[in-house]
A and B are shown apart, each in its own frame.
Chain A
Amino acid sequence: MKIHEYQAKQILARHGVAVLQGHVVTTAEEAATAAEKLGGPVVVVKSQVHAGGRGKGRFLGDVSDADIQAVLAGAEEVPGKGGVRVVKGAAAAAEAAGDMLGKTLVTKQTGAEGSKVNTVYIEAGCDIARELYLGVLLDRDVGKVVVMASVEGGTEIEEVAEHNPELILKVHADPITGLGAWQARELAFGLGLTGAAYKSAVKFILKLYTAFMAEDCAMAEINPMVVTGAGEVVALDCKMSFDENAMYRHKANLEMRDFDEEEPSEIEAGKYDLSFVKLDGNIGCMVNGAGLAMATMDIIKFYGSEPANFLDVGGGATEEKVTAAFKIITADPAVEGIFVNIFGGIMKCDVIAAGCLAAVKEVGLTVPLVVRLAGTNVEEGKKLLNDSDLAVISADSMADGAQKIVNAVNAAKGA
Chain B
Amino acid sequence: MSILVNSDTRLLCQGITGSAGSYHCTQMMAYGTNLVAGVTPGKGGQVFNSKVPIFNSVKEAVKETGANASVIFVPPPFAADAILEAIDAGIELVIPITEGIPVRDMIAVKAYLDASGARMIGPNCPGIITPGQCKIGIMPGHIHTPGRIGVVSRSGTLTYEAVGQLTALGLGQSSCIGIGGDPIIGTRHIDAMKLFNDDPDTDIVVMIGEIGGSAEEEAAAWAKDNMNKPVVGFIAGATAPPGRRMGHAGAIISGGSGTAEAKYAAMEEAGFHLSRSPAEMGKTVQGLL
Contact present for A141 and B218 (CB under 8 Å): yes
Residue B100 interfacial (CB < 8 Å): yes
Q: Which of B4-12, B38-46, B234-242 contacts A (4 or more CB under 8 A)?
A: B234-242
Chain A positions within 8 Å of B249 at CB level: 244-245
**Contacts A175-B108, A245-B249, A345-B140; A288 near B157 (Cβ below 8 A):** yes
Which A residues, 238 to 273, have Cβ-Cβ distances below 8 Å to chain B?
243-246, 248-249
**Contacts A140-B183, A398-B161, A399-B277; A295 near B236 (Cβ below 8 A):** yes
Most buried by B among A138, A245, A293, A306: A245
Residue B138 interfacial (CB < 8 Å): yes
Chain B residue at smallest Cβ distance from A290: B247
Contact present for A141 and B236 (CB under 8 Å): no
Q: A67 to nearest B CB, angstroms?
A: 24
Contact present for B236 and A343 (CB under 8 Å): no
Chain A positions within 8 Å of B245 at CB level: 277
Chain A residue at smallest Cβ distance from B165: A397
Residue B110 interfacial (CB < 8 Å): yes
Chain A positions within 8 Å of B95 at CB level: none
Contact present for A398 and B158 (CB under 8 Å): no
Q: Which of B54-62, B81-89, B206-214 contacts A (4 or more CB under 8 A)?
A: B206-214
Contact present for A298 and B238 (CB under 8 Å): yes
Residue A315 interfacial (CB < 8 Å): yes
Chain B residue at smallest Cβ distance from A300: B239
Interface size class on chain B is: 35 or more
Residue A189 interfacial (CB < 8 Å): no
Residue B104 interfacial (CB < 8 Å): yes
Q: A185 to nearest B CB, angstroms?
A: 23
Chain A residue at smallest Cβ distance from B240: A294
Contact code string A388-415 (vs B, CB < 8 Å = 1, else 0):
0000000001110010000000000000
Chain B positions within 8 Å of A248 at CB level: 76-77
Q: Which residue of the partner chain, among A141, A175, A295, contacts B158 with CB atoms under 8 Å?
A: A295
Q: Which of B64-72, B148-156, B197-205, B224-232 contacts A (4 or more CB under 8 A)?
A: B148-156
Per the bound structure, the CA–CA distance linking A290 and B181 in Å amounts to: 9
Q: Which residue of the partner chain, among B100, B138, B160, B218, contacts A343 with CB atoms under 8 Å?
A: B160
Chain A positions within 8 Å of B90 at CB level: none
Contact present for A243 and B247 (CB under 8 Å): no
Most buried by B among A140, A244, A248, A315: A140
Residue A312 interfacial (CB < 8 Å): yes
Residue A368 interfacial (CB < 8 Å): no
Contact present for A291 and B107 (CB under 8 Å): no
Contact present for B248 and A291 (CB under 8 Å): yes
Contact present for A293 and B246 (CB under 8 Å): yes
Per the bound structure, the CA–CA distance linking A293 and B181 in Å amounts to: 13
Contact present for B246 and A310 (CB under 8 Å): yes
Most buried by B among A157, A161, A293, A296: A293
Q: Which residue of the partner chain, among B181, B241, B256, B278, contacts A295 with CB atoms under 8 Å?
A: B278
Residue B103 interfacial (CB < 8 Å): yes
Q: Which residue of the partner chain, among B184, B260, B277, contacts A143 with CB atoms under 8 Å?
A: B184
Residue A118 interfacial (CB < 8 Å): no
Chain A positions within 8 Å of B248 at CB level: 290-291
Contact present for A345 and B246 (CB under 8 Å): no
Q: Which residue of the partner chain, among A279, A288, A291, A402, contacts B153 with CB atoms under 8 Å?
A: A291
Residue B250 interfacial (CB < 8 Å): yes
Most buried by A among B143, B211, B218: B143
Chain B positions within 8 Å of A296 at CB level: 278
Per the bound structure, the CA–CA distance linking A333 and B32 in Å amounts to: 49
Chain A residue at smallest Cβ distance from B251: A290
Residue A176 interfacial (CB < 8 Å): yes
Q: Which residue of the partner chain, among A289, A301, A344, contacts B239 with CB atoms under 8 Å?
A: A301
Chain B positions within 8 Å of A216 at CB level: 102-104
**Contacts A246-B102, A294-B246; A301 near B156 (Cβ below 8 A):** no
Q: A323 to nearest B CB, angstroms?
A: 20
Residue A284 interfacial (CB < 8 Å): no
Contact present for A245 and B100 (CB under 8 Å): yes
Q: Which residue of the partner chain, among B142, B160, B208, B255, contacts A157 with CB atoms under 8 Å?
A: B255
Chain A residue at smallest Cβ distance from B282: A397
Residue A171 interfacial (CB < 8 Å): no
Chain A positions within 8 Å of B246 at CB level: 277, 290, 293-294, 310
**Contacts A279-B241, A289-B155, A345-B156; A298 near B278 (Cβ below 8 A):** yes
Q: Which residue of the partner chain, among A176, A213, A292, contacts B155 with CB atoms under 8 Å?
A: A292
Residue A275 interfacial (CB < 8 Å): yes
Per the bound structure, the CA–CA distance linking A357 and B161 in Å amounts to: 24
Chain A residue at smallest Cβ distance from B178: A291
Contact present for B247 and A301 (CB under 8 Å): no
Chain A positions within 8 Å of B104 at CB level: 213, 216, 243, 246
Contact present for A294 and B251 (CB under 8 Å): yes
Which A residues, 283 to 341, have Cβ-Cβ distances below 8 Å to chain B?
287-302, 306-307, 310, 312, 315
Chain B positions within 8 Å of A218 at CB level: 103
Chain B positions within 8 Å of A310 at CB level: 240, 244, 246-247
Q: Which residue of the partner chain, among B138, B211, B278, contacts A345 with CB atoms under 8 Å?
A: B138
Most buried by A among B154, B183, B234, B236: B236
Which B residues, 82 to 118, have Cβ-Cβ distances below 8 Å to chain A?
100-108, 110-111
Per the bound structure, the CA–CA distance linking A157 and B256 in Å amounts to: 11
Q: Which residue of the partner chain, among B23, B107, B164, contacts A374 with CB atoms under 8 Å?
A: B164
16 A-B pairs with C-beta separation under 8 A: A158-B256, A175-B111, A218-B103, A243-B102, A246-B103, A246-B105, A277-B245, A289-B155, A291-B155, A291-B208, A291-B236, A292-B278, A294-B237, A300-B239, A343-B157, A345-B157
Closest 4 CB pairs of A and B: A291-B155, A290-B247, A289-B157, A291-B158
Point out residues on A near B: beta carbons under 8 Å. 109, 138, 140-141, 143-145, 157-158, 161-162, 174-176, 213, 216, 218, 243-246, 248-249, 275, 277, 279, 287-302, 306-307, 310, 312, 315, 343-346, 374-376, 397-399, 402
